[in-house]
Amino acid sequence: MTPRTTEPPVIEHGGGVWSIKVPIPDNPLGFTLVHLLDTDAGPVLVDTGWDDPASWATLTAGLATCGVAVEDVHGVVITHHHPDHHGLSAKVREASGAWLAMHEADAAVVRRTRAQPPERWYGYLAAKLTAAGAPAEHVAPLVRARDEGRPRTLPGLDPALPDRAITPGELLGLPGRRLRAVWTPGHTPGHVCLHLEEDHPAGLRGNGRLFSGDHLLPGITPHIGLHEDPEDDTVTDPLGDYLDSLERVGRLAPAEVLPAHQRAFTDAPARVRELLAHHEERLTGLLTLLAEPLTPWRLAERMEWNRPWAEIPYGSRNIAVSEAEAHVRRLVKLGRAEAVPGSDPVTYVAV
Ligand SMILES: [Zn+2]
Ligand SMILES: [Zn+2]
């Protein structure tokens, strides 16, 4: 079957696969592509979309366009725990009784998010930013929020607990389909891509199709920062994990990639090479900046973002610093930078 557009926001990809554009309110990404996969046991979703009434309405209307009532959904496979992917999972499960599957590393994040008292979170973030060299006036609001016992207001603070664990390398056991989980940590610790090991319905050359979540996108790079977890002080290397995971999906050489944002695309290996080159270039650029010792905060101020540092809003600065730290972590692991002994907050310098 040739892929064809039925009626937006639903795209039929052929071979019993559809995507539904589920809007993300007030977000430049615009929408999440929720994928629908027909199986002999009933329809299965890959991701669910943002938890918002308009998004829910779009999802259910999109399913109806594909001839599916949300009550009939058999299972939900989550690529990662972020609210634009996992947000509507509880509603879908409530409506249908579907099982919810997620990689254990992201399920752990979900459990901690649900259990964490807000003051613990504010305190953790304040300490982390201070250690990264953030100025006191940036940290002050967090300390205030902690001391006042203010609740957190971000979306996605009550994410659904999954019923099943996704085991990397294993088939998901969907009757009539071959869908294999590929663990692709980096963007989150438990991010998975789902490899549909079936011939491409339009005969495109390559190995089946890959639901790539946020791991591999045609026109943007996913955020790679340190995974924020007050209960875990492991020295992780998310950027290193991400780059390894990129090579991994490049080697799969799928005929087509069905990502969770933007649009479906082909030639995954070329996109992987492009992203690897982009990150190498970025790391090299950072080494130039690290000719003088810098804290992660000062490094973030000097890095290139989509707008000048002065115009970056508060919350996005925290994300930017986390991304700067992930890059420094990688450079240290590669032996290309090191911490300056005795510096406090710790500064890093190219070696
Ligand atoms: Zn994400
Ligand atoms: Zn996303």
The rounded Å distance from CA 351 to ligand 1 centre is 33
Note the maximum CA span of the chain: 64
Residue 193 pLDDT exceeds 70: yes
Burial class (CB in 10 A: 0-12, 13-18, 19+), 168: middle
pLDDT of residue 115: 86
Residue 207 pLDDT exceeds 90: yes
The rounded Å distance from CA 260 to ligand 1 centre is 9
What is the domain partition of the chain in residue ranges? Answer: 4-109+156-273, 116-147, 285-350
The rounded Å distance from CA 88 to ligand 2 centre is 13
Lookup: tokens for 326: 């992930």
7 — pLDDT class (breaks 50, 70, 90)? very low
Rounded Cα distance, 78 and 55, in Å: 17
Measured from the alpha carbon of residue 259, the closest ligand is 2
Residue 6 pLDDT exceeds 60: no
Burial class (CB in 10 A: 0-12, 13-18, 19+), 270: exposed
Rounded Cα distance, 304 and 292, in Å: 17
121 — pLDDT class (breaks 50, 70, 90)? confident
pLDDT of residue 232: 74
Rounded Cα distance, 53 and 241, in Å: 35
Lookup: tokens for 22: 């589920």
- CA-wise closest residue to 86 among 125, 55, 64: 55
pLDDT of residue 155: 64
The rounded Å distance from CA 124 to ligand 2 centre is 25
The rounded Å distance from CA 289 to ligand 2 centre is 30
% of the chain surpassing 70 pLDDT: 96
Mean pLDDT lowest among 32-46, 156-170, 174-188, 218-232: 218-232
154 — pLDDT class (breaks 50, 70, 90)? low
Q: What does the DSSP assignment read for 227-254?
A: ---TT------HHHHHHHHHHHHHHH--
pLDDT of residue 149: 84
The rounded Å distance from CA 342 to ligand 1 centre is 36
Mean pLDDT of 305-310: 92
- CA-wise closest residue to 318 among 292, 288, 296: 296
CATH of domain 4-109+156-273: 3.60.15.10
Q: What is the pTM of this model?
A: 0.93
Rounded Cα distance, 179 and 197, in Å: 6
Sheet strand arrangement including 179-183: 179-183, 192-196, 209-213, 256-259
CA dist list (Å): 251 to 118, 129, 240, 260: 42, 37, 17, 20
The rounded Å distance from CA 292 to ligand 2 centre is 35
pLDDT of residue 350: 98
Rounded Cα distance, 216 and 193, in Å: 9
Measured from the alpha carbon of residue 227, the closest ligand is 1
* Residue whose structure tokens are 């203010």: 150
Say whether 115 sits in a helix, a strand or coil: helix
Higher model confidence: residue 222 or residue 154? 222
% of the chain surpassing 90 pLDDT: 85
- CA-wise closest residue to 240 among 232, 252, 248: 248
Say whether 184 sits in a helix, a strand or coil: coil
* Residue whose structure tokens are 């039925």: 6
CB 299 within 8 A of CB 328: yes
5 — pLDDT class (breaks 50, 70, 90)? very low
CB 261 within 8 A of CB 33: yes
Mean pLDDT of 29-57: 97
pLDDT of residue 234: 79
Measured from the alpha carbon of residue 223, the closest ligand is 1
pLDDT of residue 264: 98
Average pLDDT for the chain: 93
175 — pLDDT class (breaks 50, 70, 90)? very high
241 — pLDDT class (breaks 50, 70, 90)? very high
Lookup: tokens for 58: 């779009």
Residue 108 pLDDT exceeds 60: yes
